[in-house]
Amino acid sequence: MKLLKRAAVAIAAMCVAACAMQEGPAAPTEPARAAATAEEAEAFVAAAEQELAALGEQEAHTAWVYETYINYDTEWLVQRVAAAGTEARVRLAAGAARFQDVEVSPALRRKLDLLRLALVLPAPQRDGAADELAAVTTRLASAYSTGRIDYQGRQVTLDELETLMGTTRDPALTAEMWTKWHDTAAPMAADYARMVEIANEGARGLGYDNVADYWLSNYDMPPDEMAQEVDRLWGQMQPFYSELHCYVRARLNDRYGDAVVPLDEPIRADLLGNMWAQEWGNIDDIAGLPMRQSVDLTQLLQNAGYDAQRMTETGERFYTSLGLPELPDSFWERSQFVRPRDRDVVCHASAWNLDSRDDVRIKMCIQIDADNFQTIHHELGHNYYQRAYNQQPFLFQNGAHDGFHEAIGDFIALNATPEYLVRIGLLRQNQAPSADADNALLMRQALDKVAFLPFALSLDQWRWQVFRGDIAPENYNAAWWELRRRYQGIRPPTERPAGAFDPGAKYHIPNSVPYLRYFLARVLQFQFYEAACRQAGWEGPLHRCTVYGNTEVGARFNAMMEMGQSRPWPDALEAFTGTRQMDGSSMVNYFRPLMSWLENENRGRQCGWE
Ligand code: X8Z
Ligand code: ZN
């Protein structure tokens, strides 16, 4: 997650609630309000920007302290700040609605629209609602980040479990870890249901049918059109996913046999090298092509003695090679790079800008492996975007849409080709895979990038249906698995007990971070990458291109980032790629050689699941 203005974050995910009545109907003793004017709108927005900037800074510092030291007192603080933040944002959102019919400049209209959308979970404007919502969301957030399981005679935290899920190849043990972690979320169910009720009431108060519509209104088009866009993009990649699923299931079957991996059923979720089966690159040793053709980045980093600082410096060097500025000293002094030994923290990686200027930081619990190498580039992408748009007016200091924010660092990480790894000395020239290893490299990427798409989709499909009332609390878990099965073709390793709340075992659910952004980012990062490589004049296979060191591409990329959210997102996309549409074709192009190979390999196999 990246911390931004919006509910800022901070708590962004966490809390948010509101109640203030400042903008309610005029009291009977007040004179009737005159029609609003453009000048009033201008003054209203200027005051709102000032208020939100101050509020955001207060929230961000409070949230930082909470997330890097979870205890009774920091929960107390963050909950109150969250409630106040939600109240203020709901008041401003309702206030902005007053200028709906006033003729104003396009920039002012955009700011008024953004003010209406400035929350993640709105609260209704009645006494106590914001406080209750903040209490519930803080409890959910803390429950997730302080979760531990008993495993092999000791207490194990999630960050360690993630490493174990990536490397353990005994299905009894992966099932045990998986089940115990998912069981930790069961107590969240009641709070989650209450949160949905309150936030939906808040959304209705702002003129939206429910929170799903509120979230989907964030894309410069009507929410139902956006939902169709998502279906269209998934349709472009879905055939590839089917081939990948078929092939991976067959390889897992070779390894574990029919009893563990039946060839006509969804795949067991604990066998894919990731706690949520969201990215499968960690089982490259089972599902990939022969390892000697591929690159084992985890091994390279560990052999070279990388630590958390060196991993981060390596990430920064990519950005500076494009002509972007070095990170400020305060970044190095104030970030959290590793899990502190003696206290609970939110380990899920995030990037912050605490003062809307230069106080950027990351908060991670870095392990030395390929996943974290990717994540560091991802988080620094947020920081570089935040810095690039920090000259914009406050309400435009955000991503063109949230998928852009998530795509920046991932785009950079796509440039970490073998050739790049040679250039930075991680890989020896004679170890670099030759052209006949292309499919092995593409497979490693597909296991992460393509496998993720239906995961991301099923996660927010579930949430949209929950917010729309199509899934009742008693069906939360069954519906979750129904969607995971349908989109991803996976199933839980063990029968889930009544009372299980498996969605709560994934960070973005208890923390209410919308997930569509990551789906969109998967598509966008390949569009950025293809455009960057075209600008660089690259003529070889797309996945071998790196724009490392190319300051011209860097300048054009920065120009898009500097726009922030000042224009509708198609303008930003066009500025860098020349196109105004999100389009899966770049991703399809990237993986095309592998797609043909997979179709051939799968010939004669029975693919799919019932
Ligand atoms: O949550 C994140 C980032 C922070 S915005 C670490 N990601 C998603 C996840 O972990 O589920 C990045 C990829 C998807
Ligand atoms: Zn992110």
DSSP string, 89-100: HHHHHHHHHTTT
Name residue, tokens 């912050």. 352
Cα 233 → chain centroid: 17
Residue 481 has pLDDT above 80, yes or no: yes
| Residue 30 scores a pLDDT above 50 | no
Determine whether the shortest distance from the Cβ of 2 to ligand 1 is under 6 A.
yes
Ligand 1 site, residue 353, Cβ cutoff 6 A: no
Ligand 1 nearest-atom number relative to CA 518: 14
At 34, is the pLDDT very low, low, confident or very high (cuts 50, 70, 90)? confident
Confidence of residue 3 (pLDDT cuts 50, 70, 90): low
Nearest ligand by distance to the CA of 399: 2
Radius of gyration of the chain (CA): 24
Q: Which residue reads 């924010």 in tokens?
A: 405
Ligand 1 pocket member 261 (CB < 6 A): no
Instruction: Compute the C-alpha angle 180/464/277, nearest 5°.
Output: 35
* Cβ-Cβ contacts under 8 Å for 111 (sequence gap 6 or more): 45, 49, 393, 395, 396
Considering only CA atoms, which residue is closest to atom 13 of ligand 1?
Answer: 518
Whether the pTM exceeds 0.85: the reply is: yes
Over residues 538-546, the mean pLDDT reads 97
Calculate how far, in angstroms, residue 330's C-alpha sits from the geometric centre of ligand 1: 24
Per-residue H/E/C for 544-588: HCCCCCCHHHHHHHHHHHHCCCCCCHHHHHHHHHCCCCCCCHHHH
Helix, strand or coil for residue 268?
Answer: strand
Write the CA distances from 121 to 6, 72, 132, 174, 263, integer angstroms: 10, 23, 12, 35, 42
Residue 339's contacts (CB-CB under 8 Å, 6 or more residues apart) are: 157, 159, 345, 347, 365
- 154-157/148-151 β-pairing: antiparallel
Q: Which residues pair with 154 in a beta bridge?
A: 151
Residue 343 has pLDDT above 70, yes or no: yes
Q: In ligand 1, which atom is closest to the CA atom of 406? A: 5
pLDDT digits (tens, 9 = 90+) for 430-457: 999 988 899 999 999 999 999 999 999 9
Return the DSSP state at 484: I
- Per the prediction, the chain carries an average pLDDT of 94
Q: Is 299 helix (H, G, I), strand (E, B) or coil?
A: helix
Query: Cβ distance 268 to 260 under 8 Å?
Result: yes
| Closest residue to atom 6 of ligand 1, CA basis | 349
Provide the CB-side half-sphere exposure for 231 (13 A, CA): 6
537: number of Cβ within 10 Å: 8
Assess whether pLDDT exceeds 70 at residue 29.
no
- Reported as a pLDDT band with limits 50, 70 and 90, residue 291 is low
For residues 3-32, give the mean pLDDT.
39
Q: Which of 215, 75, 230 has the alpha carbon at shortest distance from 139?
A: 75
**CB-ligand 1 contact for 1 (6 Å cutoff):** yes
Closest-approaching ligand to the CA atom of 381:
2
pLDDT of 293 reads 74
- In one-letter notation, the amino acid at residue 244 is L
Question: In this predicted structure, what is the pLDDT of residue 599?
Answer: 97
Residue 10's pLDDT is 36
For atom 14 of ligand 1, the residue with the nearest CA is 518
Report d(CA 583, CA 233) in Å as an integer. Answer: 7
pLDDT of 372-419, one tens digit each?
999 999 999 999 999 999 999 999 999 999 999 999 999 999 999 999
Which of 27-41, 116-130, 512-526 has the lowest average pLDDT?
Answer: 27-41
Index of the ligand 1 atom closest to the CA of residue 349: 6
Q: What is the DSSP string of 374-420?
A: HHHHHHHHHHHHHHHTTTS-GGG-S-SSHHHHHHHHHHHHHT--HHH
pLDDT of residue 2: 54
The answer to whether the beta carbons of residues 415 and 439 sit under 8 Å apart is no
Structure-token pair, residue 332: 């190095």
233 CB near ligand 1 (under 6 Å): no
Give the least confident one: 25-39, 213-227, 465-479, 569-583.
Answer: 25-39
Do 177 and 168 touch, CB atoms closer than 8 A? Answer: yes
Among the atoms of ligand 1, which is closest to the Cα of residue 2?
5
The secondary structure element, H or E, covering residue 157 is strand 154-157
Regarding predicted confidence, which is higher, 136 or 18?
A: 136
For 450, the enclosing helix (H) or strand (E) is helix 438-467
* Helix H or strand E encompassing 308: helix 308-321
- Does the pLDDT value for residue 224 go beyond 90? yes
Q: How far apart are CA 328 and CA 323, in angstroms?
A: 15
Residue 21 scores a pLDDT above 80: no
Range scoring the smallest mean pLDDT among 24-28, 33-37, 513-517, 597-601: 24-28
Nearest to 89 by CA among 128, 122, 42: 122
- What is the spatial distance between Cα 601 and Cα 291, in angstroms, rounded to a whole number? 18
**What's residue 6's pLDDT?**
46
| Contacts for 558 with CB less than 8 Å, ≥ 6 apart | 322, 323, 324, 388
pLDDT at 69 over 50: yes
Which residue has a Cα nearest atom 1 of ligand 1?
1
- The atom number, within ligand 1, closest to the CA of 452 reads 14
* Region 118-122 average pLDDT: 98
What token pair was written down for 253?
Answer: 């079957």
Contact 15, 133 (CB under 8 A): yes
- Measure 159 CA to ligand 1 centroid, in angstroms: 13
Residue whose entry in the numeric block shows the structure tokens 């929230």: 59
- Which amino acid, 99? F
Whether 375 is in the pocket of ligand 1, judged by its Cβ within 6 Å, is yes
- 304 pLDDT more than 90: yes
Asked if 147 and 181 touch (Cβ cutoff 8 Å), the reply is yes
User: Could you tell me the distance, in angstroms and rounded to a whole number, from the CA of residue 351 to the centre of ligand 2?
Assistant: 7
User: Phi and psi at residue 558, in whole multiples of 5°?
Assistant: -65, -35
Kindly report the backbone phi and psi dihedral angles of residue 190, in degrees, each rounded to the nearest multiple of 5, phi listed first: -65, -45
Q: Pocket of ligand 1, candidates 159, 280, 375, 385: which has the most ligand atoms within 8 Å of its Cβ, to mutate?
A: 375
C-alpha to C-alpha distances, 305 to 84, 298, 311, nearest whole angstrom: 46, 11, 10
Quickly tell me which residue has 């990480």 as its tokens: 413
For ligand 1, is residue 387 a contact (CB within 6 Å)?
no
What's the pLDDT score for residue 453? 98
Instruction: Name the closest-CA residue to atom 2, ligand 1.
Output: 1
Residue 506: how many CA atoms within 13 Å on its side-chain side? 22
Q: What is the DSSP string of 223-258?
A: HHHHHHHHHHHHHHHHHHHHHHHHHHHHHHHHHH-T
In angstroms, rounded to a whole number, what is the distance separating the alpha carbons of residues 457 and 102?
38
Contact between residue 235 and residue 577 where contact means Cβ atoms under 8 Å apart: no
User: Annotated active-site positions, please?
Assistant: 379, 508
The residue whose CB lies within 8 Å of the most ligand 1 atoms, and thus the one to mutate among 278, 518, 519, 525, is: 518
Q: What three-state secondary structure class fits 156? A: strand
Instruction: Report the pLDDT value the prediction gives residue 610, as an integer from 0 to 100.
Output: 83
- pLDDT for the residue numbered 17: 27
Per-residue pLDDT at 33: 66
H-only helix segments in 117-267? 129-145, 158-167, 171-183, 189-205, 211-216, 223-256
What is the rounded average pLDDT of the residues 124-129?
Answer: 98
